[in-house]
Structure formats: structure tokens, C-alpha cells
Amino acid sequence: MVLLARCEGHCSHTTRSDPLISFSSVLKQPFKSSCSCCRPHTSKLKAVRLRCSGGTRITATYRYILACNCEECS
């Protein structure tokens, strides 16, 4: 068995879209959006050896999340 962790929760920040003003005839991005997302803040690299049927072994690596944080969405 492999222990995995994930970030899940609610950020208290508001999500919004503000209109942008352009002095050009073409407005490629008419809004500037901002929001906060629950994301991994700190993590560490872990490795686990898995045994396959037939006796062969492989090593798998993954990031184990230690702490989550509300951060700007991208």
C-alpha cells in the first residue's frame, strides 16, 4: 500500500474579474481575473519499490504533500 496526500479545501478569498481598458482597437484579454486555489505548499519526493507479477521490481517516485496553502490561480 502506498500513502498519497492531496490538497482539498476552500480559500476564503473572493474570485473576481475586472474589466481592462485598452487604447488599441483590439482587446485580446478584456478581463483580468483573480482567484485563490488550494495548492501544495511544501512537499517531498518519495520513492517506492513495487513488485510485479513474475517477481520483477520497479521503483516509482512521487511527490508527497506536507502542507497546503491558498495561492493565486494560474
Residue 2 domain-assigned (yes or no): yes
Residue 52 domain-assigned (yes or no): yes
> Given this model, what pLDDT does residue 57 score?
92
**Which range of residues forms the domain containing residue 1?**
1-18+31-73
Here the CATH number for the domain that contains residue 8 is: 2.10.90.10
- Number of domain units in the chain: 1
Residue 25 domain-assigned (yes or no): no
Q: Which of 44, 46, 34 has its CA nearest to residue 70?
A: 34
Other C-beta atoms lying within 10 Å of the C-beta of residue 4: 10
Instruction: Note the pTM of the prediction, 2 decimals.
Output: 0.60
11 within 8 A of 36, measured Cβ to Cβ? yes
Q: Which of the pair, 28 or 8, is modelled with greater confidence?
A: 8
* C-alpha grid cell, residue 52: 510485479
Longest dimension (CA), the chain: 68
Residue 26 domain-assigned (yes or no): no
pLDDT (tens digit per residue) in 38-70: 888 899 998 888 888 999 998 888 888 999 988
Residue 68 domain-assigned (yes or no): yes
Which residues, at least 6 apart from 26, have a Cβ–Cβ distance to it below 8 Å?
A: none
